[in-house]
Amino acid sequence: MGLWLVVALAAIGFGVMVGGVIMSRRASRSLIDERLGITEESDALSVVPGARQSPLGDALNRALASRGLGADLATQLARADLKITVGEFVAATVILIIVAGGVSYLLRRDIILTAGVCLVAFFAPRFYVRLLRSRRLKSFDNQLADTINLMVNGIRAGYSVLQAMEAVSREMGQPIAGEFERVVQEVQLGLTLEHALDNMLRRVPSPDLDMMITAINVQREVGGNLAEVLESISHTIRERVRIKGDIQALTAYGRGAGNMLSAIPIILSVVIYLINPEFIKLLFTHPCGWIMVGVAVLGIISGYLVIRKIVNIDV
């Protein structure tokens, strides 16, 4: 029975993997066209006219994007700058769950351990996307002050706002260069500057960027010295980044202790389960064990949230 289960899981995983490869091969849209297909109403990827699509992949993307979870996932992928669609991400997650669960069952033949591995495989891709998104946003915020200074110098030299943004896309590094390059491309394709800037703010939800975009939009409507306003914003952003760095250094011990205290019970439980499974199985087979597990999980989550609330200081 166990062998047939592993064979069935392997066959399903292979089929999903082959389907994903076929969908990727048949999709002929360029990356820029695909990314520009993110609409304002729903962050799903729309179909570019005249581009040949994979029927299966297109139907899967439409089905996922029509739901709130799929639209939110498309937004997270765009913010993490991952060059995959929602359907490809879901297919990769399914493959990972099947492969990880099948290998775990083949090695240990333990249903509880296999269920735990499948649960980890389900959340691991989402955690990876969240990690990439956080790193990208932090890198963007660190570059924003220098970017605004470059725009100020360009505007004072006689550049328009769009020309200053084009200079930023050439002179600055990633990820900020790619975002400003996309704004320039969207304007060249017919979007208004306000719409293109709003799209960038949705991809990079940064309060500092929101302040810069607000200044640009107000200047375009009522006039004023944009260079002077942006220079003041740049100084504010630099001070905020400096203060954030000081706070991160002062709260590093608290954040590390919170992560360690939350991880130790889980790690010890896994290690004990691998050494003596019968000792831990009582927690999942007896009503008293269910209560103990529930209280332990509630305590870990509550302690982690309390510590994060203490060390997270808004600037």
- pTM of the complete model beyond 0.85: no
Residues 17-51 pLDDT 10s: 545 544 444 444 444 444 444 443 333 333 333 33
> Residue 159: enclosing H or E segment and its boundaries?
none
For residue 204, what is the DSSP state? S
**% of the chain at pLDDT higher than 70:** 77
| pLDDT (tens digit per residue) in 262-300 | 888 888 888 887 788 787 777 777 788 888 888 888 888
Q: Where are the domains of the chain?
A: 2-109, 135-235, 252-311
Is 45:34 a contact under the CB 8 Å cutoff? yes
> Do residues 100 and 117 touch, judged by C-beta distance below 8 A?
yes
pLDDT digits (tens, 9 = 90+) for 79-89: 777 777 777 78
What are residue 45's DSSP bridge partners?
38
Local confidence band at 61 (pLDDT 50, 70, 90 cut-offs) = low
pLDDT at residue number 19: 53
Question: How many C-beta neighbours within 10 Å does residue 307 have?
Answer: 18
**Contact criterion met (CB below 8 Å) for 71 and 43:** yes
| Residue 277: cis peptide before it, omega within 30 degrees of 0 | no
DSSP per-residue string spanning 40-58 = SS--SBPPPTT----HHHH
Residue whose entry in the numeric block shows the structure tokens 């203060």 = 243
Candidates 207, 301, 314, 313; CA nearest to 261 is 301
Q: Count other C-beta atoms under 10 Å from residue 220's C-beta.
A: 14
Residue 130 has pLDDT above 60, yes or no: yes
Distance CA 244, CA 311 (A): 12
- CATH code of 135-235, in short, is 1.20.81
